[in-house]
Amino acid sequence: MAISDIQGRAGERGGQHLPFFELALPPLIALGFFYAAFYNALPEGLLTPLAALIFGGLAGLSFISVAARPSSWRWRLLFLVSSLPVIWLVSHLILQHRIDFPQMLRYLGPFYLGILAFGHYDKFPLRLIAWLACGAIFWVMIWSATQPFYLHSNEAVFDDPVPGWWAALVGNGRLAPYHGGPENPHSSGYMTLAFMLVVHQAWYWGHLSTKVMAAFVGMAMLYIVGCFSTQVLVAAVSYFGCYGMFSQRIPRPVKAVVLVAGVLLLALIAIENEERKAAVRNDTNIKLEELGSGRLGTWIERLDIISGRDSAEVWLGTGIGSDNMSSVIWRLKETTSHNTYLTMIIENGILGFFAYFGALIMMMLALNRHGICLFTPVFVTALIGNGLSLRPMPFEMFFLAVVICIAGLAAQYRRRQFEADRHRMAARLAL
């Protein structure tokens, strides 16, 4: 399917123009980067109003976008996304579960940015987005260099370095979190991953030079390694691995070597994570259900909970936040499933699960092989943690990378159409 078919053409007939998109998008985008990069430095009372302004503004623009440039594809996407609040409302009315409208907006805001991106990608300031991402990464490195190392999961009690080459070099501390709270290295890792995807997509489609891309992707990877979020590191390796596998410039034997190396790297990351967690717990007798920092056992517990629910809860879910339960594996600490697929079934039911992932798959397939590469971190992190799609601001930054990709594909499509028309014209003249 061509990008022009997805975008819709109604807004371009008769020379119509919507200047408010050009006026509204840059401030919202800049405000989003400000919120993302300076979250931990902002007053707590300012966080909710800023988030409401950003996500509310994007949701409003997405509805205007669909009305201005309607297409059957985007109407279907809007239907899937908008069915989620309907499911939550029905669950609230029938099952009397709590409904949280601010959380609903945070949950869906990035999706509405995706809908807006597929309709009005040509209104986004692409170079501004690229340089804001570079600036955010630069700020992250300054913040990391000026803040004390963060100690997580009882790492402070160890005099000797815990297992892992990072700890062997710099000690047990991690680079300081800057987003999601002072004790949330994972949110900061996901945010840095999203910034990195924006920079890489900007380079791929010609908005940044190779040197600039290499410098800022290198800094982003340094932070991702330094904050020691295993799931984010796996997502980064998967993303670049996918692009390597799809690259036409890399010979197949080299791809085979890279594939084997990538699989081995992922295995080493997992092994190092287990060794580190075992040292922190001071427990070498690890049971099967404790693997993955207790994820495997938590998933088994959640499957037992789902199997014991009545049919209404299975189909409609129990609302946003209902996956936060006490877990035996986590020493009765309240925690989520650490698996987005299970979280979706618990909170949104089977209907919401298919609507949620159906929307993601629709957007992925619309971008062909680039969509597979871009959305691989979304689906991979959904399997091994509270994934990228459950983190509102990193997910919004992710969709800015999607915007750049859509614009690049559209420009590529126009070039190919121009070349095809030129060849047809030359063939007619030759006759």
pLDDT tens digits, 375-390: 999 999 999 888 899 8
Give the mean pLDDT of 73-96. 86
Confidence at 95, pLDDT banded by 50, 70, 90: confident
Contact 85, 17 (CB under 8 A): no
Structure token digits, residue 323: 């996956």
| CA quadruple 88, 94, 100, 101: dihedral sign | positive
Confidence at 13, pLDDT banded by 50, 70, 90: very low
- Interior CA angle at 141 toward 140 and 144, to 5°? 85
Of 18-27, 46-55, 259-268, where does mean pLDDT reach its minimum? 259-268
Average pLDDT of the chain is 83
Structure token digits, residue 228: 């020691």
Q: What is Dmax (Cα atoms) for the chain?
A: 84
Q: How many angstroms separate the CA atoms of 189 and 175, rounded?
A: 10
Place of tokens 């614009």: 407
> How many Cα neighbours within 13 Å face the side chain of 239?
23
pLDDT in tens, 23-48: 899 999 999 999 999 999 899 889 88
Between residues 346 and 137, the one the model is more confident about? 137
Confidence at 244, pLDDT banded by 50, 70, 90: confident
Between residues 293 and 57, the one the model is more confident about? 57
Between residues 296 and 25, the one the model is more confident about? 25
pLDDT in tens, 152-175: 665 555 555 555 545 555 556 778
Confidence at 280, pLDDT banded by 50, 70, 90: low
Confidence at 12, pLDDT banded by 50, 70, 90: very low
* pLDDT for 15 beyond 80: no
Does the model's pTM come out above 0.85? yes
Q: For the chain, what percent of residues have pLDDT higher than 90?
A: 41
Between residues 427 and 157, the one the model is more confident about? 427
Reference 404, options 113, 246, 204; nearest CA is: 204
Structure token digits, residue 61: 């623009």
Q: How many angstroms separate the CA atoms of 374 and 389, rounded?
A: 13
Structure token digits, residue 411: 């420009």
Q: Is 355 exposed, middle or buried (0-12, 13-18, 19+ CB in 10 A)?
A: buried
Q: In Å, how far from its chain's centre is CA 274?
A: 25
| DSSP assigned state of 376 | H
* pLDDT for 416 beyond 70: yes
Structure token digits, residue 76: 């279907």
Reference 343, options 392, 294, 299, 296; nearest CA is: 299
Phi and psi at residue 209, to the nearest 5°: -80, 165
Q: What one-letter code names the amino acid at 305?
A: I
pLDDT in tens, 317-349: 887 877 776 665 555 566 778 889 999 998 889
Which range, 52-61, 62-71, 208-217, 279-288, is most confident? 208-217
Give the mean pLDDT of 238-256. 84
